[in-house]
A and B are shown apart, each in its own frame.
Chain A
Amino acid sequence: MKSKMLRPLILNLVTWSLVLLISFPLLWMIVTSLKPQTELFRIPPTWVPETVTFEHYWRLLTETPFLTFFRNSVVLATSTTIFVVGLGTLGAYSLVRFRFRGRETLAMLVLFTYLLPSVVLIIPLYLMMVNLGISNTLFSLILAHTTFALPYALWLLRSFMEGIPDDLENAALVDGASRLGAFKDVIFPQLLPGIISTALFTFILSWNEYLYALVLVNSESVAPLTTGVMTMLISAFNIEWSLLMAASVMMSVPLIVVFAFLQSYLTSGFGAGGVKG
């Protein structure tokens, strides 16, 4: 039975060559960030670096405002996540477990805004921030990020909440707990994995956001990584690709960490939020 042996081999070869092809741009990013400047402009390019150097990383951290951008991004993404997940947890609890007028309409409104294009909101938001005198601050960006993060978190938390059986809460109520007591002791522990994965996804969204930062913030001291690193590309007279690739790698490190955490939540989180609805 030669074909019985051959089939898995071919399957593996095909799959892995596709996987490597897909991850090639990312491998190339790492390779480029480690090459010395002289090797970078070799024609044809060296596919494996002849000499490995960390000078670009060192220059990135000491000679560019990269660390300021990084700090801004951490503050921005963390604050947005805490704000939105806090609001969203209470909101989702209310949407799923309470009966009141307008509940269904509200849920559909959340879904509608989840699909809304940012460019529709960007003009009025810009005017709003200018009028409030808070344009060009991290706070204005946190508010702006709420526009996409809140509907997203609410929708995701809502579907996690729907997965918790009613009986648990009812049993606690029968035993004399108040609604909020039952929430704290019964619902919250059950919902925690959902809250964590929602928080991680929200963090990623906010970390990667570009358009609002482009419009609302224009000074280096408050720019997050996305716009900050792009200005390094645009302002440079000759583009230093290895420096930019080093910046790209450093920018992706937090995502790799989050991604590692997410592994177990991936299917549940995405299944729940994006697809099952």
Chain B
Amino acid sequence: MTTIATDPPRNGPSPLERSYSRLGMLLIAPTIVVFSAVIVYPLLAAIYLSVFSIYTPTLEGEFVGADNYIEMLTGGVFWSSLLTTLIWTVGTLSLQIVFGVGLALLLHQNIWFRSLARSLVLFPYFLSTVVAVLVWRWLFNDLYGALNHGLMQVGIIDMPLDWLGSMPNAMIGVILVGAWKYFPFVVIAVLARLQTIPENLYEAARIDGAGPIARFWDVTLPQLRSVLTVIILLRAIWDFKEFDLLYLLTGGGPVTSTQTLSLLVYQEAFSLNRMGQAAAYSVGMMLVMLVFMILYIRRTKEES
């Protein structure tokens, strides 16, 4: 290699650099066009629609100003739905984290048929929510469901439970299914991180006389801290906006006791036919989520 001069002298962008940046913009242009058409435009349209009152079947409506937002803030539906969303998110997320970290620790050990065990644990995450819901609705079936009979055979309950039709069982049910479906994400992420913890940290702790539990608190957990923050933020965002699982398991019922914000927006737009009000709810929901989103985006920026 005899060529050395790759960078021209640094006084302003060279013609080559300028042509590169033009090429760069050309390559991203198709993405930007599609992005604007299917994401940015609908996003702005949602905000625009939220100040109208639109009847879904005819799509006709009129300008109502802030009425939809006043209804949102004073109507009570939004707030009770927000509370339901928070209960669901906190409940399912904590189970996901506890089981996810626990199973990652177990699957990190040298067990028999480790890769088979890992695949079996990860599979629910890749499954369609529709499949997960069908299987669980069959398991939850009050007459012939395996869950009730299994619990009765073990002796935990004496009578079959109505899992999805009454409260608080319905909320417990959706939280359980959500945890089952999404905890593998935590397993994958934590496992990947566990593999990078240097072994000598454990050696040092052992020499200092730390037992397995002390080693977990003093070595493993601090090492997992940053990855756990990211997982919690990301999963909180995803659980908060979850639609399929709740809609298909309970449809928001009984009555509205599992109706999260995503379901409320859908219901308002396509069952109650009030599209403008639904758009206002969706904007409100986005504003709540924005807090988490900004935290996550900030974090990602810091790391890169």
- Chain A: residues with CB nearer than 8 A to chain B? 8, 11-12, 14-16, 18-20, 22-23, 25-26, 28-29, 32, 40-41, 43-45, 87-88, 90-91, 93-95, 97-100, 103, 106, 108-113, 115-125, 127-128, 130, 143-144, 146-147, 150-151, 154, 170, 173-174, 179-180, 204, 207-208, 210-211, 215, 225-226, 229-230, 233, 241, 244-245, 247-248, 251-252, 255, 258-259, 263, 266-267, 270-271, 274-277
Contact = CB atoms under 8 A, between A and B. Distances in A.
A267 B192 contact: yes
Given A15-B111, A125-B42, A207-B128, A119 B34 contact: no
Most A CB contacts (10 A, CB to CB) among B24, B153, B240, B247 go to B24
> Which of A97, A241, A263 has the most chain B CB atoms inside 10 A of its CB?
A241
Given A12-B111, A146-B38, A245-B134, A26 B124 contact: yes
A244 B138 contact: yes
17 contacts: A8-B110, A22-B121, A23-B121, A45-B149, A88-B31, A100-B24, A117-B241, A120-B283, A123-B282, A180-B23, A215-B266, A248-B131, A248-B135, A270-B192, A274-B234, A275-B230, A277-B303
Given A91-B31, A119-B241, A208-B128, 17 more contacts: A8-B111, A15-B106, A25-B124, A28-B135, A44-B152, A95-B28, A118-B262, A122-B269, A124-B46, A127-B49, A128-B42, A179-B23, A210-B129, A245-B135, A245-B138, A248-B134, A252-B128
A99 B17 CA distance: 9
Contact of A147 (B39, B153, B296): B39
A226 B130 contact: yes
Interface stretch (B73-81, B86-94, B183-191): B183-191
Contacts of B293: 112, 115
Contacts of A247: 134
Given A94-B28, A115-B293, A226-B128, A127 B38 contact: no
A127 B45 contact: yes
Contact of A277 (B25, B32, B299): B299
Contact of A124 (B45, B107, B109): B45
Contact of A113 (B21, B35, B110, B270): B35
Interface of B: 1, 3, 6, 17, 20-21, 23-25, 27-28, 30-32, 34-35, 38-39, 41-43, 45-46, 49, 59, 103, 106-107, 109-112, 115, 117, 119-124, 126-132, 134-136, 138-139, 141, 143-144, 146, 149, 152-153, 180, 185, 188-189, 191-192, 195, 227, 230-231, 234, 237, 240-241, 243-244, 247-248, 261-262, 265-266, 269-270, 275, 278-279, 282-283, 285-286, 289, 293, 296-297, 299-301, 303-304
B46 A121 contact: yes
B6 A215 contact: no
A207 B189 CA distance: 23
A90 B28 contact: yes
Contacts of B265: 119-120, 122-123
A146 B37 CA distance: 10
A22 B187 CA distance: 13
A4 to B, nearest CB: 14
A179 B154 CA distance: 67
A143 B262 contact: no
Contact of B34 (A127, A146, A179): A146
B38 A123 contact: no
B35 A150 contact: yes
Contacts of B45: 124, 127-128
B248 A241 contact: no
Contacts of B3: 174
B241 A124 contact: no
